[in-house]
Amino acid sequence: MDAQPRWQIKGRINLGPDGQGPLEDQRIELLERIGKTGSISQAAKAVGMSYRAAWNAVDALRNLAGEPLVVTQSGGSDGGGTRLTQAGERIVLTYRVVCEHQRRFLIQLQERLDQAETYQLIRRLAVKTSARNQFFGTITGIRTGAVNAEVEIALNIHDHLTAMITMESLADMKLAPGSEVWALVKAPSVLITLDEPGIKLSARNRLCGTVSRITRGGVNADVVIGLPGGATISAIITLDSLEHLGLQEGERACAVFKAGSVILGINA
């Protein structure tokens, strides 16, 4: 199996007065080249600018800084040329100091990113699916049959769910106790009941918590239940069902769904 590509942190620096365009690496490099060569034409050529574009950049930088950054001399004992003013030297130095601090900061972040736990966390956050309910958990048990397998998953110490998948999928994903998996459940597949112990249903999954949000639409309502472990689960039910249950935010309720409604996935 091919190794996963290494995730890298990259950043950009925006340095400049509020409300105005930021300084750019190319413009700073242009100033540096002017300081080294004493020639704006040589500096422009070195950074891939035309002579006119270089002067336009210098003028733009002057407007940003509010004072001249270069001065031009003609003839004389020094032979003329262009040099940086103290303000120009100060801007170049400031920019490079900021860049160096950013470089060191990104190196430290990269080292943390390269740690296995942090890398796995970011990979989890990067997953995108159409399912409203996305859970990440660990397989705690598997019960196999002739065609299907029941997979028990711990989302945290409080919340657990069961998924029903085919034996072929079980083998293809090489699932086993201890494997980390995604559990996806579409909101329309989730039913809502009141949190009453006497209710008995054939659905394997019953996650109970507190209604944290109800969003009403023209026909349906989106009901979000906060679970004890900190996760949330969403259900799409009809407005008639919402009224019949008398659900209100802050009340106890349960999300019910069949094991066959759970789709399992892994990070390949």
Structural domains of the chain sorted by starting position, each given as residue range(s) with its CATH number in brackets: 25-113 (1.10.10.10), 127-265 (2.40.50.100)
Using H for helix, E for strand and C for coil, what is the string for the chain? CCCCCCCCCCCCCCECCCCCCCECHHHHHHHHHHHHHCCHHHHHHHHCCCHHHHHHHHHHHHHHHCCCCEEEECCCCCCCEEEECHHHHHHHHHHHHHHHHHHHHHHHHHHHHCCHHHHHHHHHHHCCCCCCEEEEEEEEEEEECCCEEEEEEECCCCCEEEEEEEHHHHHHCCCCCCCEEEEEECHHHCEEEECCCCCCCCCCEEEEEEEEEEEECCCEEEEEEECCCCCEEEEEEEHHHHHHHCCCCCCEEEEEECHHHCEEECCC
Highest averaged pLDDT of the listed ranges 13-17, 23-27, 196-200, 256-260: 256-260
Q: pLDDT tens-digit profile of 197-228?
A: 777 788 889 999 999 999 998 899 999 999 98
Asked whether residue 18 carries a pLDDT value surpassing 60, the answer given is no
Percentage of the chain exceeding pLDDT 90 = 43
> Which pLDDT score is estimated for 167?
93
